[in-house]
Amino acid sequence: MNILLVYPEYPDTFWSFKHSLKFIAKKAAFPPLGLLTVAAMLPDSWNKKLVDLNVEPLPNEKLVWADIVFLSAMIVQKESVRQIIQRCKRHGKKIVAGGPLFNFQHKQFADVDHFVLNEAEVTLPLFLNDLATQNLKAVYSSQKRPDIIQTPVPLWSLIDIKNYATMAIQYSRGCPFNCEFCDIIIMNGRTQRAKSPAQMKREFQALFDAGWRKSVFIVDDNFIGNTKEVKQLLPTLIKWQQEHQFPFTLLTEVSVNLANDEELMQLMSAANFFKVFMGLETPNHESLVECGKKQNMVGSLAKVVDTIHRHGMQVMGGFIVGFDQDPENIFDMQVRFIQKIGVVTAMVGILTALPQTRLWHRLKAEGRLLSDATGENTDGRLNFIPKMEREKLIEGYQKLLTTLYTPKQYYQRINIFLKNYTPTARTKVTREDLLAFTRAAWRLGIVSKARFFYWKLILKTFLVKRRALPIAVELAIHGFHFERIIERVCQPSKSVLLKS
């Protein structure tokens, strides 16, 4: 059996880092972890090939070669998915599809032959059993939450890891919180299910053996969802990192309660975590109450960010406007808040009603749903009727973005961050780092309109906090990417689209 696994192309988004990747000669930010894991679940005797459209085109020869095409996709990849399906059908190929896009919207894809939905540890064996007996069904789904201690190591041999900026590993699924707008608990539940320390050690070793020596994204939606288990895991990771001379810098997603746990922060820092993403959402208390973000209502969010920065981990933040309880001046509030706390990578989006979330059900009951979500956090599209006047929300959002990502404001945040940041991660200067610095010196230091801010940042960091120089350069490069994204989202020709 010849199996072709195809990963659709991402559009140019906030998190694609498309414009940053050129500085380090990489083709994509992250590998298709889901498909690589599914590939490892398929019979060893099958022939497998993987095409990631974010790093290479899909040649006809591989479609001809395949007996079955496996697809996995996020909602934001929908357009690329449709194109892949059309090509597969022209070649008469059977398609098996799964992943977040199809979990929620599989009825929109009539040309897909078989859907393997929800968690593959449960539904993929059902499909494989029926395939063996030639008694296949159209849809395989289950609400069972499997234990993931038997989940295999991803099949890294199917990709060229040199194409990617960061590798990816999953430790756990599920989140204990119940934010109204979030679909994580719809997909993975509220009880965190985690891999064992021994499993994680094997996954680290597999990446190391594959030749990887850079950053690793632990992709959990809340890595610290079960702090007791995480504290049992981290000593194993610390020991492994020590034994291998700290080949990986780590990043992940966490909730704000990390800042209340000194032991946990110290363990994460010792394990070489250097970045964490957290949903800070809004400085407006009433909006936090509205969306059920209780964990953000305990103490000062500014203190949370400062505390984590002082433990050597850069906070990347998610922010939202468009809540029913947002006041008219929410856009100015957000600018002041984000600038004050020094979150450089600030992903600000308009509230989106994702399928089957509590928000989606509430707005549907209120007759306020307009369309499907695009899955892109920062495209400025509304898929529901907001309480704030629509034009005011769109225009305020665009102004918020363009203000945050002017060179002056952006570099001001970098400086605020660096002032409070205590570098602890063990890093090695690589050829990629030198390449990035060289290209940044030209593109940002000479050609860019931000060149004055760039060189002032580099000189100050070199003199005052030299260990932070690599991250200062990285943030300057990311600013170039964010600037391009904001230009696309906020350009006048987009005004009609943004309102649809």
201-255 pLDDT, tens digit each = 999 999 999 999 999 999 999 999 999 999 999 999 999 999 999 999 999 999 9
H or E element in which residue 94 lies: strand 94-98
User: What is the C-alpha to C-alpha distance for residues 324 and 388, in angstroms, rounded to an integer?
Assistant: 7
Share of the chain above pLDDT 90, in %: 92
Query: Which residues lie closer than 8 Å to 292 by C-beta, 6 or more apart?
Result: 177, 178, 179, 180, 358
Longest dimension (CA), the chain: 69
Same domain? 412 vs 451: no
Average pLDDT over residues 1-28: 95
Q: Give the pLDDT of residue 101.
A: 96
pLDDT tens digit sequence for 254-298: 999 999 999 999 999 999 999 999 999 999 999 999 999 999 998
pLDDT, greater one: 500 or 279? 279
β-strand pairing of 172-173 with 193-194: antiparallel
**Partners of 315 in beta bridges:** 276
412-439 pLDDT per residue, tens: 999 999 998 999 999 888 888 899 999 9
Q: Is residue 158 part of a domain?
A: no
Domain match, 413 and 430 both: no
Reply yes or no on whether the pLDDT at 500 is more than 70. Answer: no
pLDDT at 480: 96
Last residue of a domain, one of 401, 418, 435: 418
Residue 299 falls in which region: left (phi positive, over 0), alpha (psi -120 to 50) or beta: left
Residue type, 289: V
Do 468 and 361 fall within a single domain?
A: no
3-state secondary structure of 349: strand
Q: What is the CATH number of the domain that holds 293?
A: 3.80.30.20
How many Å apart are CA 174 and CA 131, to the nearest integer?
30
Helix axis angle for 451-464 and 407-420, nearest 10°, is 10
Do residue 432 and residue 328 come from a single domain? no
pLDDT band at 499 (very low <50, low <70, confident <90, very high): very low
Domain that holds residue 368: 166-418
Helices (H), ranges, 278-430: 285-291, 301-310, 330-341, 358-365, 390-404, 407-420
What's the start-to-end Cα distance of the chain, in Å? 45
Coil vs helix vs strand at 351: coil
- Residue 344 pLDDT greater than 50, yes or no: yes
Q: Is residue 74 part of a domain?
A: yes
398 with 452, same domain: the answer is no
The number of angstroms, rounded, from the C-alpha of 500 to the middle of its chain's C-alpha atoms is: 25
Q: Give the model confidence (pLDDT) of 106-134 as tens digits.
A: 999 999 999 999 999 999 999 999 999 99
Where are the extended beta strands (E) located within 99-152?
114-116, 139-140
Confidence of residue 368 (pLDDT cuts 50, 70, 90): very high
**In this predicted structure, what is the pLDDT of residue 57?**
97
pLDDT at 429: 84
Q: Region 356-371: what's the mean pLDDT?
A: 96
Helix (H) or strand (E) holding 21: helix 18-21
Q: Do 387 and 342 reside in the same domain of the chain? A: yes
Does residue 98 sit in the same domain as residue 29?
Answer: yes
The CATH number of residue 95's host domain is: 3.40.50.280
The whole-number pLDDT of residue 123 equals 98
Domain contains 350 = yes
SS3 493: helix
Confidence of residue 471 (pLDDT cuts 50, 70, 90): very high
Is 156 part of a structural domain of the chain? no
Is residue 296 assigned to a domain? yes
Residues 218, 169 contacting (CB under 8 angstroms): yes
Q: What is the pLDDT of residue 187?
A: 93
pLDDT confidence of residue 490: 86
Domain count, the chain: 3
Beta bridge partners of 105: none
358-363 contacts: CB < 8 A, separation 24 or more?
Answer: 358/178, 358/180, 358/181, 358/292, 359/180, 359/181, 359/291, 362/180
Confidence of residue 492 (pLDDT cuts 50, 70, 90): low
Instruction: Indicate the helix (H) or strand (E) that contains 277.
Output: strand 273-281
The reply to whether 94 and 216 lie within a common domain is: no
Backbone φ, ψ for residue 329 (5° rounding): -95, 20
Q: How far apart are CA 265 and CA 276, in angstroms?
A: 11
Specify whether the backbone of 430 is left (phi greater than 0), alpha (psi in -120 to 50) or beta. Answer: beta
Give the per-residue pLDDT at 41.
Answer: 98
Residue type, 104: F
The pLDDT of residue 338? 98
Q: What is the pLDDT of residue 495?
A: 42
Query: Are 214 and 348 in the same domain?
Result: yes
Of 140, 156, 174, the position where a domain reaches its end is 140
Q: Cα torsion for 188, 191, 196, 199, to the nearest 10°?
A: 0
Identify whether 391 is part of a domain: yes
- 441 with 319, same domain: the answer is no
* pLDDT at 30 (0 to 100): 97
Inter-residue contact 215 to 161 (CB < 8 Å)? no
Domain assignment present for residue 495? The answer is: no
* The pair of three-digit structure tokens given for residue 8, joined into one six-digit string: 């659709």
d(CA 348, CA 345): 9
Confidence (pLDDT) at 497? 41
Cβ proximity of 412 and 401 under 8 Å: no
**What mean pLDDT do residues 182-189 have?**
93
Would you state the structure tokens that stand for residue 441, as one six-digit string?
């010196």
pLDDT for 494: 45
pLDDT at 428: 84
Residues 127 and 224 in one domain: no
User: Is 152 a member of any domain?
Assistant: no
Residue 431: what pLDDT? 85
**Shared-domain flag, residues 411 and 427:** no
Q: Which two tokens stand for residue 314?
A: 């850069």
How confident is the model over 307-329, as a mean pLDDT? 97
Where does a domain end: 418, 447, 471? 418
Give the contacts of 218 (CB within 8 A, at least 6 positions apart).
168, 169, 170, 171, 250, 251, 252
